[in-house]
Amino acid sequence: MNTIIDDCRYMSQALAAADQAYLIDEVPVGAIVVSSHGELLSEEHNRKEREFDPSAHAEINALRSAASRIKSWRLNGATIYVTLEPCPMCLYAMISARVARVVFGAYDPKGGALSLGYNFHLDRRLNHTFSITGGVEHYHCSRILSRFFREKRARHQSNSNTEG
């Protein structure tokens, strides 16, 4: 496991979850958790709007579902695949969950932990470290986000024009 081919295949599954978010007008971010044996433990997407929960990011939802499935908050050896660079909250949750690896698609220069300089995953003072691979299927992961926000802006503009 953990080859480029595996990463692309698993990221495609995370993109399918992002598509589900898109269909319900959530920011289209998807995440999956895969065990060290290659077993899919969870597949989730953003649900912040639907659940009125600021912490209902795809990554948090995927970690919760995976932990519930294996009946342990420790996801030792697991890899999480997410279509967008994790924010600081999500990155720290991954440390707490003891994942072995994080793979993400699109970079997030405005909210991504790494882009903002938060390298919690490398801090030896913490009780756990892990590796991160970024940019996997970057084009596809970026495209769905760009389309979502472009359509959202167009709807907002259209509503503004009809109100005035």
Residues classed as catalytic: 59
> Chain-centre distance of CA 152, in angstroms?
20
Cα-Cα-Cα-Cα dihedral of 153, 155, 160, 162, to 10°? 160
How far is Cα 96 from Cα 73, in angstroms, rounded to an integer?
A: 8
Bridge-partner residues for 84, per DSSP? 106
Q: Where are the alpha helices (DSSP H) in 24-137?
A: 48-51, 58-70, 88-97
